Amino acid sequence: MGLRAYIIKRIIYTIILIFGVITINFFIFQAIPGNQLEAYIHKPTITKAEVDKLIAAFGIGKPWYQAYPHYLLSMFTFNFGLTDLQMGNQPVSNLILDRLLNTILLIGSADILAVVVGILLGAYAAHERGKWFDSAAILTSLATFSLPTFWMALVVQSIFGFGLHWFPIEGWEHLPPITTGFVPYWWDRLQYLIMPAMVLFLFTYGGFLLLTRACVLETMTEDYVLTARAKGVKERTVLFRHILKNASLPIITNVALQFGFMLSGAIITENVFVYNGLGTLIYNSIQLHEVPVMQAVFFIIALCVIIANFAADLIYGLLDPRVRYG
């Protein structure tokens, strides 16, 4: 099977998988006790016309076999419905878009830094196996990977916020409008970003370090590595071009999953720092029983994970010529 046929086959499987995820997502929320329409009806200001509009537009309150077609259409068109009055009675898609940039900046910057640092330190720790750097790298990565994120967030707040007064403790509502200028706007945004990104980096990089170290150690004894060293190839070239490249397939899968879950936000960290991202949106939606918001966010997270896995499958063949599409 050639690359083109493989891509077509994977696209078909991906579409089927997305359809299955949407269906499971629908029935999970259908199983929640109570009627979704009650979240809107019990508000004293809602009118009968508005109730009829909700039922007609999104199938809220209908039996599952009538609501399911409305749900499929809303998911595929990204028309996720309306929030109730507690969250402003606004379109869910607008609410998600308002938080999207904040979450991408936070999770994206922390994940990129964690992947780069974790892979480089993991490869070097494997090269220095049994030495002090290897022991220190394993110890620190296990410590930061095991500590609760809320505890690390409180420690970071205590040191850099309350102690040194370098960054704001929490909050996002004090940002100036972008009309104040490009540099002042992004500088203020960066100040609110550094501490939560630091916490997520410390929690994330250890997993990549340990995985990279294990993969590199497994590959270091291969014949082609011994041959490269016998030819006098520089040790740095052997480590990064021969060993790390051939040990990268499990790492690629882990990186893809990490970025696939990026839009899930960091619920605990975002709530500690009162960061206005998708993580706090998920938490507030659970607290307020906002089913349309939860359905939309969970669908988007699943969609990102599926796309990330699809991309990882294609990257395998580009990095490792031993991979055959079949």
Same domain assignment for residues 60 and 176: no
Same domain assignment for residues 144 and 55: no
pLDDT at 62 over 70: no
Q: Is 258 within a domain?
A: yes
CATH number of the domain bearing residue 130: 1.10.3720.10
- How would you class 15 by CB atoms within 10 Å of its CB: exposed for 0-12, middle for 13-18, buried for 19 or more? exposed
What are the angstrom distances between the C-alpha of 77 and each of 81, 226, 278, 307?
A: 11, 55, 20, 17
Handedness of CA 284, 287, 290, 291 (dihedral sign): positive
Share the mean pLDDT of the chain.
77
d(CA 111, CA 80): 28
More confident residue, 273 or 86: 273
- How would you class 2 by CB atoms within 10 Å of its CB: exposed for 0-12, middle for 13-18, buried for 19 or more? exposed
Q: Is 91 helix (H, G, I), strand (E, B) or coil?
A: strand
Same domain assignment for residues 76 and 103: no
The residue range of the domain holding 303 is 92-319
Same domain assignment for residues 297 and 180: yes
Contact 262, 99 (CB under 8 A): no
Q: How many domains does the chain have?
A: 2
How high is the pLDDT of residue 261?
A: 72
How high is the pLDDT of residue 80?
A: 76
pLDDT bucket at 84, cuts 50 / 70 / 90: low
pLDDT digits (tens, 9 = 90+) for 17-40: 888 888 888 888 777 665 566 555
pLDDT at 318 over 60: yes
**What mean pLDDT is predicted for residues 53-61?**
60
Same domain assignment for residues 230 and 106: yes
What are the angstrom distances between the C-alpha of 276 and each of 27, 87, 177, 256?
A: 29, 14, 15, 25
pLDDT at 283 over 60: yes
Q: Is 87 within a domain?
A: no
pLDDT digits (tens, 9 = 90+) for 145-191: 888 888 888 888 888 888 878 887 776 555 555 555 566 667 777 88
pLDDT at 313 over 80: no
In the structure encoding, which two tokens stand for residue 310, read together? Answer: 């699809």
How high is the pLDDT of residue 59?
A: 60
Of 50-54, 83-87, 297-301, 313-317, which gets the smallest average pLDDT?
83-87
Same domain assignment for residues 102 and 178: yes
Q: Is 181 within a domain?
A: yes
pLDDT digits (tens, 9 = 90+) for 2-14: 667 777 888 888 8
Buried b (16+ CB within 10 A) or exposed e, 103-139: bebbbebbbebbbebbbebbbbbbbeeeeeebeebbe
Same domain assignment for residues 32 and 137: no
Same domain assignment for residues 282 and 195: yes
Q: Is 76 within a domain?
A: yes
